[in-house]
Structure 1
Amino acid sequence: MLKRYPKDETFKWSKVFKGVIYVEAVILVSSFYLYRKLCRDQNFRYRCYQNHGFILEGFYNMMDIVGYDQYRQVDYNTWGVPLDDTKTKNN
């Protein structure tokens, strides 16, 4: 007769760990892509201003902390939005 050994539970945890690492890598790459798109494309920033204001506000706050505060000024001047309008449209 063949001996049966119990299944090793660490196998399941290794799959979960690999899945978590994969999801974190996808989130990191996606957020870097969004950051680069926001930095380079003013039309994309305008679409975010119209539809997803919280994303653009977070981008502006992050760039203010880093020291690049010209994004908000240039965008608002181009779009004809008063600069004292700190609230972006949230839908």
Structure 2
Amino acid sequence: MLTKTPKPAYKRFIGTSLKAIFFAEALGFAVSYGVYYKLNTDRAFRLYMYQNHSWVLEGYYQLGERIGGHKTRDLDKQVWSNEGKI
């Protein structure tokens, strides 16, 4: 009959480390996609980000201008100034 021996400690450490890294990357991707989706669909959220976390909104605007040639930045500022929010 074959006897079972436990895995060496370094193999268990590597396995759990890889699982943790994969989970952290998947969670980071999900959060970043959620923020991008919210920025892409909700002008009120973009205003909140403009007032509190402008560096995130700046990255969103730059990505849209480089990839799609969108002028969302100008449109947002025009709407916000017409509404008296900025």
Range into which the TM-score falls when normalised by the shorter chain? 0.7 to 0.9
1:55 partnered with 2:56: yes
- CA–CA separation in structure 2 for the residues paired with 1:38 and 1:25: 20
What 5-or-longer segments of structure 1 have no aligned partner?
A: 82-91
- Equivalent residue for 1:86? none
**TM-score between the two structures when normalised by the length of structure 2:** 0.82
The root-mean-square deviation of aligned C-alpha atoms, in Å, is: 1.7
Number of equivalent positions: 77
- Equivalent residue for 2:11? 10
Taking every aligned residue pair, what percent have the same amino acid on both sides?
31
User: Secondary structure at 2:66's aligned position in 1?
Assistant: helix
The runs of 4+ residues in structure 1 deviating greater than 6 Å are none
- Equivalent residue for 1:89? none
Q: Which has the higher helix share?
A: 2
Higher normalized contact order (CA 8 Å, seq sep 6+, divided by chain length): 1
Letter of the 1:45 partner, please give it. Answer: R
1:1-91 superposed matches below 5 A: 8=8, 9-80=10-81
